[in-house]
Structure 1
């Protein structure tokens, strides 16, 4: 499986992490799930509602998530993933990230932001069908050209 994302969207989610540093940023990936992976057509920034530990946790409010999902559907897009940053921490999922991941088939993108600068970005596919058999699998990020973008 691969995550297909344009350079523009990839750069934007990384910039979001730099802007919210030293707190975690978060957002939603909209697009289409296909046989070769999730294809991102748009990213939507979301507010991190965590007030107790925003430097190492994130939460998207259910109301905001529903709004993003409805707006996406109006454009013919589905939620295909989520992204967040890890300030001064590796771009690897944590036990909390895993425990709070429930969107099977979606991609979870994590960018490490070191001293305010986006570093490594990794993607993980949430495989499985239940909480008992779920697993994160490393996913390749494939940067694609935007429609109408020159080669």
Structure 2
């Protein structure tokens, strides 16, 4: 079973970002290390939610996209150039390179449970943190990963205190 290890400050950064973009969804990347015993977050990289009319066109063929609109209140998109920037930044990390190991986003006034659209767009190698933001306040935060049948399953999160 997969596990995601992260520090309290990583969770705080995600919650703060989610509250700052409310009532729109926030999104960002988790940079870290992959190991046999799971994934370890080293850096949280907030990105801009680039969901717009152009993104609607790109994603309209995806399962679960029947009611796509250009509203950032219930969709997010991370621009390819932001993914590339994160990959480059990760490769140059010292003392050792980092990989993109996950994505986080918020669900304004909705539970921290993946939507069908979230599932259809997800990649099996990533962890997906979703934070529920109720009336501007970050609440429930859950982590998910895809199983072999491309269905989301809860993924354990271990909070590691900074030494």
What TM-score, normalized by structure 2, do the two folds share?
Answer: 0.83
1:100-147 CA-to-partner distances (Å, cap 9, x unmatched) read 112x2210000000000001000001233xxxx32222112111123x
- 2:90 is matched with which residue: 72, 79, 84? 72
Query: Which contiguous aligned blocks of 4+ residues in structure 1 show a shift greater than 3 angstroms?
Result: none
Residue 119 of structure 2 corresponds to: 98
Structure 1: state its 5+ residue gaps: none
Structure 1 vs Structure 2 CA RMSD? 1.1
Residue 10 of structure 1 corresponds to: 11
> For 1:127 and 1:40, how far apart are their aligned partners in 2?
20
Residue 41 of structure 1 corresponds to: 42
CA contact (8 A) 1:24 1:48 kept: yes
1:45-90 CA-to-partner distances (Å, cap 9, x unmatched) read 0110013110000000111111111111111100100000000000
For the residue of structure 1 that corresponds to 2:18, the secondary structure is helix
Structure 2: state its 5+ residue gaps: 53-69
> For 1:36 and 1:122, how far apart are their aligned partners in 2?
19
For the residue of structure 1 that corresponds to 2:103, the secondary structure is strand
- 2:73 is matched with which residue: 55, 66, 71? 55
Counting matched residue pairs gives 142
> For 2:156 and 2:12, how far apart are their aligned partners in 1?
16
Greater percentage in strand: 1
Residue 30 of structure 1 corresponds to: 31
Pairing 1:135–2:151 present: yes
